[in-house]
Amino acid sequence: MKKVTILLVFTFLIIFLSSCLKTLHPIFTVKDIVYEQKLLGTWKAKASNDDLAFAVITNLSSDNSIELPEKIVAIKQKGYLILYKNQNGEIIDQFIAFLARIGEHLYFDYYPADKKEDRKLDEFWREHFIKMHTSFRVEIANDGSFELSQFDESYLTDLIDKKKIRISHETDPDDNVVITASTSALQRYIIKYGDDPSAYRSEKITFKK
């Protein structure tokens, strides 16, 4: 059976996340973490297609209401909580994020953080989902603004289909693919393809104060 799709009505981020590369494992280990104080603050997050949202980036330890896995609690001082808000100031999405240096570049690893509205959903229903990681290359400009480029899932699945890469993944009877590569395998992928623009989605998100 085709994986069931729930009918949710969203705007901004869906454009970025719909064909983004999602992985079961994070792209970083604790030793890769970099903390940049200058990323904290409220940002205008603008996509190339003119969609605009606001991003509020705080230190992960500043909000005790966020449910964190036990080992993430131990490193939360080095992490970020990233809230995306619409123009009415409503939170539309939030993520636990860690900045990591992999090879020559900086990357964000995003992991969903439930909003209070999400936590109101029935536990049995919620437990039928597994949160996935999404990752972005981060380029910080001299003026402090920064840009996120997101890995494109179809680029990797194309490499897999053409047998140009060996990376752990699972394919179900309906050809749905989930990338199950370990963190070290994901890092090898990033180091090998991280400088190839076609490995990323064409749209970028620009963050300006």
Partner 1 sequence: MKKIIVSFLITASLFQFSCVTSWQPVVTYNTAIPDNRLIGTWNSEGQDYIVERVFESAVYKKQKNEPITPLIKKGIKDSILYSKSYIMRYTKDKIEYHFFCSMIKINNEVFMNMIVADITSINNGGDISELHLSQNWLDRLHTYTIARVQFTNTNIIKLDFIDGSFIYDKIKNGRMKLKHESDDLYDTFVITASPNELQQFIQKYGNDDRFFDKENSVTLIRKS
- List beta partners, residue 111: 96
Rounded Cα distance between 110 and 133, Å, is: 6
**Closest to 79 in 3D by CA, of 110, 43, 28, 35:** 35
Please report how close the Cβ of residue 17 comes to partner 1 at its closest, in angstroms: 5
Nearer to partner 1 among residue 70 and residue 104 (C-beta): 70
Torsions phi, psi for 25 (to 5 deg): -105, 155
Q: Which is nearer to partner 1, 101 or 140 (CB)?
A: 101
> In the bound complex, what is the minimum distance in angstroms from residue 110's beta carbon to partner 1?
8
CB under 8 Å to 188, separation ≥6 — which residues? none
The residue ranges that bind partner 1 (CB under 8 A) are 1-10, 12-14, 17-18, 20, 22, 24-26, 29-30, 67, 69-72, 90-95, 111-112, 114-115, 117-118, 120-125, 127-134, 170, 172-174, 178, 180
> Would you state the structure tokens that stand for residue 151, as one six-digit string?
């890995």
Q: How far is the CB of 34 from partner 1 (least distance, A)?
A: 16
Residue among 94 and 149 whose Cβ is closer to partner 1: 94
